[in-house]
Chains A and B, each alone.
Chain A
Amino acid sequence: MRISKKVLVVAAVAGAAALALSGCSGSGGGGAATGDPILVNSITDTKAFPEAAAVATAVFEQYNAAGGLNGRPVQLKTIDAPTGDAPAAVNGAADSIGDANVVAMVGSSTFGECAINHQAYIDAGMVAFVGVGVDTFCFTTPNMAAANNGPLFDIYATAWNAINDGAKAPCMVANAADPSTGFGYTEVVKNLEASTGVKFAAVEIPDANQANDYSTNVLTALAAGCDALVFGGVHPTVAAMIGVLNTQGVDLPVYVQTSCYDPGFPMEPAVQAYPGIVSVPAELAPSDDPANADFQALLDSGAVASAETWSYSFMQAGYLAAQTFIHVIESIDGDITRESVTAAAQSDAIWPIENPMWGNPWTFGPGETHQANSSVYRADIEAGSGAWKSIGPWIQAAEMDWIDIAATPAG
């Protein structure tokens, strides 16, 4: 078959146009602020966590349109680091650190970038306002603080809800995204058993497997005689775990992590078919809370080209990471440099910052570890309802006897 030259030319032009347009759409800046830009970077797995960096970019564009910091715009560059591509994460950090004009990392969202680069940021004296932090190092590094509460605090709160509801023999099946998280989950179980006196009937913490299949872990846990199930993992993985319960005629209460708190999860076929209650400790204000008014207005303005599949809480995390950075630079009297940003972020003077999207005052500060977001808000799915129902109230770390997990053997 022959393809005419005209067709080839049209295809080439269309392709070039598409590339040019896609390139244009990623650039930030512009608007009323026209001074020297303040540069920040985000290392993000744009496939798994596209939300936070995109929303942070929109926050800065809105900020710049309103004049920026004394006429200086904030420009965020997103560096893609897909999960499993450690060199991309390393190079992203090296490029960011190597450019003296990049003053901080803002909105980074990956499964493992904190573990990979935390020491490099410490050595470079650079701080990271993490958007969605997953691995333990996002919460145990002096230079890092995350807008989200992370999987360790999250799984703790998830299991705490189960025990608080009266579970005497809960079972945990939690897929650990990386070794440090797996270790952290084990510590969480120990701490929780010590603080509540409740012994888990079974604890399964499988590493990620090629088929993304944790059905046998769920079956093994069920065989231990659970009276509640605590599931850890991202939305599709946990939905599949609930699918396993459906095959076994189980209707026990199920407790899932905040990574499942999106509008699509209750609509999952397995979740809709499940005859029991499903509960989550949301890490940020639930979507129907007025605390989200400004954030929601930003979304409604069309500034973020979001997809319906995007996680609401991960978008919130990007919004808060950007707001936190703005709070820091607005507190600095002198020049905005990497050193001044780091000094301000790690000082006591400007913290905490209050935002009702968090359930607690948020602090970066000089701490060696940062469980800055340390509260959760309960929401439930009633059997077959197809929607989350906000239950509340905010529950603080102290009420749950949370202990920071600082030591990790891997990394």
Chain B
Amino acid sequence: MLVTTFAGLTPGVFYGIIGILLTLMSQLTRTVNFSQMAVGMFGGYVGMTMIQKLKVDMWLAAFVGLIIAAALSGIIGWIIATWLPNAQIATRSAVTVAALLLIVSVSSVLFGANHSNFKPLLQTNVAEIPVAGVKLFVSQNLVVLLLFALVIIIGSSLLLKRTMFGVRLRAISDRQAAAELIGVNVKVLNVGVWVVSGALISIAISFMPNTISNDYISFSLLVIAGSAAALVGSFKNLWLALLGGVIIGVLQGFVASLPAFAAYKEWVTFILILVFLLWNQRKEVWDVAR
């Protein structure tokens, strides 16, 4: 029980990173980016193809994968910024669902059915902690992903709150028309956010341990667990998004260790989503909530 629960930490932190990026994208571009994982996955496949077919160094392949993911994300952002600049958040988010499906389909055609799982940039353990007769392994992946999550949270907070560039970024989200009137290039900044988002998820994927299959659909849909994590922070609080991801990962590990409930491990995410939606609506009267 302890081992599986502890092992849930690594995917949990990863869900947290997805949640953090979804929160940032929601705040800065008014979009729930369902293609978040898919763009990173596509970059990952390009990188793996380079490693296996062209025998290039894995760090170079990871860098190229990052560029591809960033570019792909930028293209989606450019499409939304060009044709749906003033659309509702639901409409803008729907575009990302279409992008998700397109990327899954194209990946399936390009990379085939029997593709290789991703190669993590690091995959050794840094510590063995003996607890209650079992060994808990702390991997480089866990450490790096956790540090990466902290860097994104602290870095983005400093950028948005302490710099003029951050003010402009917030302006394009809060008062787009006003920002345009004072000369802020809304479209370029918008696309820039998408590019950075694609690059960041690509980095996170590069440090994921290869303990789950990167099947096109299931891997892309890890964004659902990330969405649940973002929901814990109400798509506003980055720290709570990280915490939400960790809670999901650890709970999934714990539930999986209980034989009677192991089959329902996947339900953790949806139960969490349901609980937080109900919690957010707790003070609404029926007419308003409806």
Q: Which of B52, B113, B219, B222 contacts A47 (CB 8 A)?
A: B113
Give complex CA distance A339, B170 in Å: 74
Per-residue contact bits, chain A 193-215, to B (CB 8 Å; 1 contact, 0 not): 00000000000001101111101
Interface hit among A162-170, A261-269, A323-331: A261-269
Within 8 A of A (CB), among B123-157: 123, 125, 128, 134-135, 137, 139
Number of B residues near A (Cβ < 8 Å) is 45
Q: Are A213 and B3 in contact (CB under 8 A)?
A: no
Interface hit among B25-33, B188-196, B262-270: B262-270
B-chain residues with CB within 8 Å of residue A267 when the two chains form the complex: 52, 116
Q: Are B211 and A249 in contact (CB under 8 A)?
A: no
Q: Shortest beta-carbon distance, B256 to chain A, in Å?
A: 3
B-chain residues with CB within 8 Å of residue A220 when the two chains form the complex: 4, 256-257, 262
Number of A residues near B (Cβ < 8 Å) is 43
Give complex CA distance A219, B120 in Å: 20
Q: Are A210 and B115 in contact (CB under 8 A)?
A: no
Q: Are B212 and A216 in contact (CB under 8 A)?
A: no
B-chain residues with CB within 8 Å of residue A248 when the two chains form the complex: 3, 135, 137
Evaluate whether A273 and B123 lie within 8 angstroms (CB atoms) in the complex, with A212-B215, A247-B137, A248-B137 already known. Answer: yes
Interface hit among A63-71, A138-146, A306-314: A306-314
Q: Are A210 and B266 in contact (CB under 8 A)?
A: yes
Name the residue among A223, A234, A235, A236 with the largest chain B CB count within 10 angstroms.
A236
Question: Counting CB contacts under 8 A, is B64 at the interface?
Answer: no
Q: Are B4 and A247 in contact (CB under 8 A)?
A: no
Specify the chain B residue showing the minimal Cβ separation from A222: B3
Give complex CA distance A267, B116 in Å: 8
Give complex CA distance A267, B11 in Å: 24
Q: Shortest beta-carbon distance, A372 to chain B, in Å?
A: 25
Q: Shortest beta-carbon distance, A407 to chain B, in Å?
A: 24
Q: Are A236 and B115 in contact (CB under 8 A)?
A: yes
- List 20 additional A-B contacts (Cβ < 8 Å) besides A210-B221, A213-B211, A248-B3: A1-B82, A210-B266, A212-B215, A215-B211, A216-B7, A216-B256, A216-B265, A223-B3, A234-B114, A235-B114, A236-B115, A239-B213, A243-B117, A247-B139, A247-B209, A249-B135, A262-B114, A264-B115, A309-B113, A309-B114
